Amino acid sequence: MILFLALCFVALAIGGVTALVIFWPLALVHIRDRHPDLAAQLGPNAFFRPSAWLWLLRGDYRATPDRNLSGLATPARISLLTILTGLLLAWLLWLVSYWMGA
């Protein structure tokens, strides 16, 4: 049962990846088109940059007074948090099952 729940958390993380693939590029295109200084700060190919992901996780987009950017970056942030939470919980449940000898 524990490993089944761990697999469900992996599925949750996969759902987060799906949402991130939808909203993060939209937010980056919005940044590229309307906030060139912020695009320069995030750097080229920000989709795969850990520094850009940390920028998103910290919620630094809220410092920019653009409601459209917040509307695109907030779901991307939630999806990134979902990925991290799902994988962390799956890993913890796997550790529990390993310690229990299941």
Of 68, 56, 62, 46, the closest CA to residue 16 belongs to 56
**102 pLDDT more than 80:** no
Provide, rounded to the nearest whole percent, the portion of the chain with pLDDT above 70. Answer: 99
pLDDT at 27: 97
Q: What is the mean pLDDT of residues 6-25?
A: 96
Q: What is the mean pLDDT of residues 75-94?
A: 96
What is the rounded average pLDDT for all residues in the chain?
95
Contact at 8 Å (CB) between 43 and 51?
yes
pLDDT at 7: 94
Note the pTM of the prediction, 2 decimals.
0.90
Which 8-state DSSP code applies to residue 90?
H
Q: What is the mean pLDDT of residues 85-94?
A: 95
Where along the chain do its domains lie?
A: 2-100
**1 pLDDT more than 90:** no
